[in-house]
Structure 1
């Protein structure tokens, strides 16, 4: 007797399964989340296409074009030219120097040469667009390093417990006892004083890593304390899996949901802190494309006649923070089991 078996059902692709999952469906129904995602994507595109949006010119120095081996600004749109790809993926430092239209301290209102006007002679539009790229680079580097350090230390603390957990948690308590901004300012000042010729981004990245990893570590520790007691971890241990294999393959991947949402929120807050450092004079050199400097330039011209020196930088900063916070909050709610 022949038994007819049912034809095999096509396996659902991982992408389709992800797009139809409950958290993603919840995100798609959240209009504020979609608004935040759209704003964030606009800033991502602005950062990536900064050489096209705020094209370097020959009138304001031309050092960026020279370092890109370009003789005219229009060549930056030509994919056949190596400078096209270098500007997109590895722009030289000279491209991050805000183009200076004049040396007059008095702001100049928006005009065809500087569509957002000038502040201290610097082109506000050029500084904001290239400053978006600066902010994204710093935010991605800082969040990636702090997340990695925090996840590893938090996983070790939660998995082993005992005196190791107690030692790490007391050290974290010491870090939390200090205001993060004050700790960052102290570290940046110390590192810059000890290394006067170093890349200005290095003290900022190191200071934010030291001040920021503890929050990730504490969140991951709490998740690991819950995860390490589950059955699949005991099953892997009974099969002879070593501690590091248990931590890296089983414990950490199942403890990342909450910490990833915090990392996305931090992508929107780290640039604001960096801008605050530049406003205090502890950031990048004068003239570097960075939002905090443009706010600092506007400090002496807070008058209705010079509204543009503050309105445009403030709008970039507020929208950037708003976009990531809207999307990050919605993402946290979508992946929070208590909200399901």
Structure 2
């Protein structure tokens, strides 16, 4: 027994250095990945974001109705409940919805909806409005729906009788992609302009910093209004999308450029950078191989945390009528009907798009927190 205990001690003492040795030889990205896996909230947020972007990618297939589909008979209709048990207490394997019939409140004369007696079973892969799947393949198949003359309004309808669930899915294509593309463009601009300012310095640095100060001195809302007013009215949706992305990229690159400039100023006089210059390495290689890897993890975190701010900015612009306009839609456009308090009091389901905005912003913030913690893998 004594020999066995001595063998175990020797085995454990020899295993621990090997484990430390493997950790020492791990790359920065491997250490970040190991630490990120321990952040449960960030992992859940990543899954939620993947589902949101998958929903936006396949929105036309997932949405029961198209963007311009409406029915004046179902204006401001309440959300329908998927049921398994009917009013007679009978259980149905396939979920169904009751039809809606409209009437008037005898006291307020306000239009109201009540359930009809006819049941409409939920069906999958139903034929409906034509669209292009992934923007390429013509199709008319939708994931869910009910047979005519039934209607499926899972989240109710708006003031024109359009399905809110379908419009939230279709609006996510704009509200989730514009911030992503805008941050990507501002990331490239901030990296190039801020890197040139910090690395070369001199008159170039002075000019770039004065331009950044001028842009950042403008209040955000008047700057949005000025740039939005420069967009020609009644332009195609694709061009409007392009212009909104340019507006966001023009405003947001300045913050990252200043951070990159500060990092380059602190690193350009390091010994390994000076040695590379003496060895005749070009400036482009010094920036790409020696300077950027020193804080690339910070750039990833900064980019992730910048997306929620741009999502809120796009929502605010569309909410104020300065961004995406009808017939296109986004979450901000959908929230325009929630401007009046009486509208919310009578039709509370119209504020549901706000929940999608809050969910998306929170998940991006949690993901950014997880990446920020993972960026310092030696932190205990």
Q: Under a length normalisation based on structure 2, what TM-score does the superposition of the two structures give? A: 0.68
Give 1:115's aligned residue: 154
Q: Contact between 2:68 and 2:327, CA under 8 Å: does it hold in 1?
A: no
**Quick one: distance in 1 between partners of 2:358 and 2:279?**
52
Aligned to 1:307: 348
The partner residue of 1:60 within 69, 78, 82 is: 69
Of 3, 9, 24, which aligns to 2:33? 24
Count of matched residue pairs = 293
1:46 correspondence with 2:87: no
Q: TM-score, normalised by structure 1?
A: 0.75
Who wins on radius of gyration, i.e. which is larger? Answer: 2
Alpha-carbon contact 1:142-1:209 (below 8 Å) kept? yes
Aligned-partner Cα distance in 2 for 1:309–1:91 = 32
- Structure 1 CA distance for aligned equivalents of residues 63 and 153 of structure 2: 10
Give the aligned partner of residue 46 of structure 2.
Answer: 37
Match 2:312 to one of 258, 272, 296: 272
Q: CA deviation at 1:58?
A: 11
RMSD over aligned CA atoms reads 3.5
Greater share of helix: 1
Instruction: Give 1:44 deviation, angstroms.
Output: 1.7
Aligned to 1:88: 134
Q: CA deviation at 1:19?
A: 7.1
SS of residue in 1 equivalent to 2:133: helix
Q: Which has the higher strand share?
A: 2
Structure 2 unmatched runs, 5+:
1-21, 71-124, 139-149
Cα distance in 2, alignment partners of residues 275 and 91 from structure 1: 30
2:165 maps to which residue? 125
Q: Say if 1:20 and 1:58 are closer, same or farther in 2 by CA, change over 3 A.
A: closer
Q: Deviations over 1:97-140 (max 9, x none)?
A: xxxxxxxxxxxxxx952211111222111111111122222122
- The corresponding residue for 1:219 is 259
Structure scoring higher RCO (CA < 8 A, sep ≥ 6) equals 1
User: In the alignment, is the contact (CA less than 8 A) between 1:219 and 1:259 conserved in 2?
Assistant: no
Given that 1:224 and 1:255 are in contact with CA atoms closer than 8 Å, whether structure 2 keeps it comes out as no
Residues 126-162 of structure 1 deviation map (CA, whole Å, 9 limit, x = unaligned): 1111111222221221011110011000100010112
